[in-house]
Chains A and B, each alone.
Chain A
Amino acid sequence: MSERHLDPGRGGGRDSGAGRGAGVAGFFARVRAMMVKEFIQLMRDRVTFATMIMIPLLQLILFGFAINTTPRNLPTAVFSHENTDLSRAVLAALKNTAFFSYVREVHSADEAEHLIRSGEVLFFVEIPAGFERDVRRGDKPQILVAADATDPIGSANALAALAGVINTALAHDRFVDAPGENAFQIVQHRRYNPAGTSQLNIVPGLLGTILTMTMLIFTALSVTREIERGTMESLLAMPIHPVEIMLGKILPYVSVGILQAFLIVAAGMLLFGVPLEGSVLLLVAATLLFIVVNLSIGYTFSTLAQNQLQAVQMSFMFFLPSILLSGFMFPFSGMPLWARVLGEGLPLTHYLRMVRGVMLKGATFPDLQVDAAALVALMLVAMTVAVARFRQTLD
């Protein structure tokens, strides 16, 4: 021991010392040292670690069970001015769909108005007097359907279904006369999700958003935390390159991300019967890539922010548009051009396409390569900015 410290011939050892830690072996040794350190710190921070496991499960269960953009059993009121075979057929058809919980009959328009305003019912169907007669004459009578459209997503689906149901009732149940071409025109095509269940779409979406949120925040804090705790000064005085610091800080979280992804996919398949049509390997590869992209972006924020609070704020600045513009919340194709351009710059957009493709449509690599290339490009940009921005001195 003492010889090592007191040996004045240490200078002689410089020759061997200069070789020490040089080259590729030294690079890996330092990245590993950094990884081990980060991993211990991560494991020791119990609350953070528990949060990382709980966030995906909680989110999945909340979103999966509580949120359904195709609501069922919506309370509906019916005001029928006549009691004919046809009107009864329409009501029976309504009752038969799962969209409407029960059909309550009212006897005045005012009453119906009151029910819908108070929120007791979400739909109100009015069958006019002389309905059957007009239909038989081919006069195409109007059925008034009023919907509480404060939740446009929920009501839109039911409205679409309602029109179909009535048309079907008119066509098949009773009548010889064709109710008109337009009666059959409302046709819903729900490919890949014939039942219209939201979970199928939400589970892959959640996989992407949860990974974005957790990965982004954990690395966003990593550099600023070292600065705030004063450990950065020591670290900078040691012979380690910014690239080595970055890799050492990013890689431990890849395993955390993989663990989260596994939990979400497993829970999605077990709880909600989400299929995995495509290759598992492709899903893992896409997810790994996506995790690294988010970690790189978080790390970039970390090198830009002055403190941990700023880093968290930057992460949220990035997270919100990711949710809104990526196609997770709203259909991507329905957005205006500028929003779609912005969305293309977000990793979540590309990942959602890939993961929905692999899980729900059985997509293969050729289908996904454009999005994969986009993710690689985003990762390289983020890493370059991070290394360029990383301050090797305290200036």
Chain B
Amino acid sequence: MSVATTDPAPPAPAAPSALGEVAIDVEGLSKSFGGRVVVNDLSMRVMRGQIYGFLGPNGSGKTTTIRMLCGLLTPDSGTGTCLGYDILTQAREIRRYVGYMTQRFSLYQDLSVRENLEFVARLYGVPHPEQAAQAELERLGLKGRGHQLAGELSGGWKQRLALGACILPGPELLLLDEPTAGVDPKARREFWAQIHELAAGGLTVLVSTHYMDEAERCHEIAYIAYGHLLAQGTVQQVIAQSGLSTWTVDTVGLTGREAGLAVAGLSRVLTENVGVDMVAPFGTSLHISGRDAEALEAAIAPYRTDPRYVWRKEAPTLEDVFIDLMSRSRDEMR
């Protein structure tokens, strides 16, 4: 990426956007569509300059929350501010300083790359829109494709262009709704490098994603399921808060299909035990997790003497934690 990383970017203590200040601060946001609660009593706080990951299964209310933050949806209840502006009454101001990248590509497919950027620059009142668009083209590495219709770009380039269009007006907060869905690993890595550079420059980024590796690239994360915010904090905090204990089982002296069968057999018997909340196979090893550490140890005790297996107590992964949170909240919903 051509974003200058060498730029020391002296932290100007300009009052409204100084680091350490709150960028998003919302309390008790709720939204329902046709009687179905999509977001329920959601409160969150994002500091300026932070990369905040927003995780959760499909239909958990991530997009709805993001839309409420930038004034595209009016919350049924709740209050809050975004960049110091009231999300209920100052949507117009918020729009000026927020770059929102939609889940679906929403630039004009029948406009060229350059025309799209110029359109955005003009709408935001960027001085010298033509030059600004040209500069953005060069920064995006799309210089030779300025004349190409946006609809003809590949998925990765579309994503890059969409992000470029969000950044062009110089926002203070980026809201990115599943920006890397359907993008190849290399483009994803470049994307995240860019996000980190932007955040280093003081931009606040809220990004929703499905990918666990992406969650681990965020400064802080929030996990939302069925409209409820279930956990938030740094990755380490979220894992520690989960209270989950995890064991990993490897097979000894078995290879290939035999090892697979042994793991599958163990998985079947363990699942039925009280104290075992989650069993997940990873190749020829098994992740076994439980909320009650003692009950889990009691459950696995009979199998720990089996010479075919090697047992190891480990920290749960973020995925273990999320799946547990999800199944727990589903149980509570019932």
Contact = CB atoms under 8 A, between A and B. Distances in A.
Given A6-B9, A8-B12, A393-B72, A237 B95 contact: yes
Interface centre among B7, B123, B136, by most A CB within 10 Å? B123
A233 interface: yes
B111 A8 contact: no
Contact of A10 (B7, B92, B104, B172): B172
Q: How many interface residues does chain A have, given as a range?
A: 35 or more
B106 A238 contact: no
Nearest to B132: A4
A2 B74 contact: no
B18 A37 contact: no
Nearest to A44: B110
Contacts, number: 161
Interface in A18-45: 18, 20-22, 26, 29-30, 32-34, 36-37, 40-41, 44-45
Interface in B73-116: 73-74, 91-92, 95-98, 100, 102, 104-111, 115
A37 B111 contact: yes
Contact of B108 (A3, A37, A239): A37
Nearest to A244: B123
Contacts of B7: 2-3, 6
Contact of B122 (A13, A17, A30): A30
Given A11-B14, A13-B170, A5 B73 contact: no
B169 to A, nearest CB: 9
A8 B11 contact: yes
B95 A238 contact: yes
A230 interface: yes
Per DSSP, chain A at the interface is helix
B245 interface: no
B125 interface: yes
Nearest to B67: A394
Contacts of A236: 72
Contacts of B40: none
Given A17-B170, A237-B72, A394-B73, A9 B14 contact: yes
Interface residues of B, number: 61
B41 interface: no
A76 B91 CA distance: 76
B12 A12 contact: yes
Contacts of A34: 123
A236 B73 CA distance: 11
B14 A14 contact: yes
B4 A394 contact: no
A364 to B, nearest CB: 42
A230 B105 contact: yes
Contact of B17 (A10, A26, A231, A232): A10
B296 interface: no
B122 A33 contact: yes
B88 to A, nearest CB: 11
B119 interface: yes
B14 A37 contact: no
Interface in B165-179: 167, 170, 172
B107 A234 contact: yes
B201 A5 contact: yes
B110 A6 contact: no
A1 interface: yes
B258 interface: no
A151 interface: no
A21 B201 CA distance: 24
Interface string B173-203: 0000000000000000000000001101111
Contacts of A233: 72, 102, 104, 106
A237 B123 contact: no
Contact of A5 (B14, B98, B138, B170): B170
7 contacts: A5-B201, A8-B10, A10-B172, A232-B106, A238-B120, A393-B71, A394-B67
Interface of A: 1-14, 17-18, 20-22, 26, 29-30, 32-34, 36-37, 40-41, 44-45, 229-234, 236-240, 392-395
Given A10-B172, A237-B102, 19 more contacts: A1-B135, A3-B4, A5-B201, A6-B7, A6-B9, A7-B9, A8-B10, A9-B12, A9-B17, A10-B170, A26-B125, A30-B125, A33-B129, A229-B108, A237-B100, A238-B123, A238-B124, A393-B72, A395-B73
A-B residue pairs, 5 tightest by C-beta: A11-B17, A21-B125, A6-B201, A8-B202, A9-B12
